[in-house]
Structure 1
Amino acid sequence: MTTNLKKFISRFVTLSDDELDEIAGKFKRKVVKKNGYVLRQGDTCKDFVFVDKGCLRLYYVKDGIEVSVWFAFQPSSAIEVYSFISEKPSDYFMQAIEDSQVLVLPKTELKKIYQSHPKMQEMMRNFWEAVLLDLISRFTALETDTAEKRYRDLLNNTDYLETLPQKYLASFIGVTPTSLSRIRKRIRKDH
Structure 2
Amino acid sequence: MIEIVELSDKTITLDRNEFLKVKGGIDTNLYFVESGSLRIFVLDDYEEQTIRFGYKNNLIVSLDSFLTEKPSDLFIQAIKKTVLKVITKQQVNDFLKCEKNSNLWTTILENLVIQQMEREIDILTNSPKQRYQRVLERSPQLFQEIPHRHIANYLRMSAETLSRLKKS
TM-score of the superposed pair, with normalisation by structure 2: 0.88
Secondary structure in 1 aligned to 2:80? coil
Moved over 6 A (4+): none
Displacement of 1:146 after TM fit? 0.8
Q: Residues of 1 paired with 2:165 and 2:6: CA distance?
A: 47
Displacement of 1:161 after TM fit? 2.0
Q: Residues of 2 paired with 1:182 and 1:141: CA distance?
A: 16
**Runs (5+) with no aligned partner, structure 1:** 1-7, 10-19
Q: What does residue 16 of structure 2 align with? A: 34
- Please tell me whether residue 97 in structure 1 is matched to residue 79 in structure 2: yes
Note closer, same or farther for the CA distance 1:23–1:78 as it changes in structure 2 (3 Å cut). Answer: closer
Note closer, same or farther for the CA distance 1:108–1:152 as it changes in structure 2 (3 Å cut). Answer: same
Partner of residue 53 from structure 2, selected from 56, 66, 71:
71
**Runs (5+) with no aligned partner, structure 2:** none
Moved more, 164-173 or 77-86: 164-173
Partner of residue 141 from structure 1, selected from 119, 122, 132:
122
Task: Tell which structure's C-alpha radius of gyration is larger.
Answer: 1
Q: Residues of 2 paired with 1:183 and 1:74: CA distance?
A: 23
Q: What per-residue deviation string (whole Å, max 9, x for no partner) do you get for residues 5-35 of structure 1? A: xxx33xxxxxxxxxx4x97154311111111
Greater share of residues in strand: 2
Note closer, same or farther for the CA distance 1:147–1:120 as it changes in structure 2 (3 Å cut). Answer: same
Q: Percent identity?
A: 20
Displacement of 1:125 after TM fit? 1.0
Note closer, same or farther for the CA distance 1:26–1:175 as it changes in structure 2 (3 Å cut). Answer: closer
- Please tell me whether residue 84 in structure 1 is matched to residue 66 in structure 2: yes
Q: What per-residue deviation string (whole Å, max 9, x for no partner) do you get for residues 38-63 of structure 1? A: 21111112101111111111001111
Q: Contact conserved, 2:131 with 2:155, CA < 8 A, in 1? A: yes
Q: Contact conserved, 2:21 with 2:74, CA < 8 A, in 1? A: yes
Q: Contact conserved, 2:36 with 2:80, CA < 8 A, in 1? A: yes
Q: Residues of 1 paired with 2:124 and 2:50: CA distance?
A: 16
Partner of residue 51 from structure 1, selected from 33, 57, 65:
33
Secondary structure in 2 aligned to 1:54? strand
Greater share of residues in helix: 1
Q: What does residue 16 of structure 1 align with? A: none
User: 2:164 is aligned with what amino acid?
Assistant: K
* Pairs within 5 Å for 1:168-183: 168-177=150-159, 181-183=160-162
Displacement of 1:167 after TM fit? 2.2
* Pairs within 5 Å for 1:111-126: 111-115=93-97, 117-126=98-107
TM-score of the superposed pair, with normalisation by structure 1: 0.78
Secondary structure in 2 aligned to 1:98? strand
Q: Residues of 2 paired with 1:88 and 1:182: CA distance?
A: 37
Q: Residues of 2 paired with 1:169 and 1:130: CA distance?
A: 21
Displacement of 1:67 after TM fit? 0.9
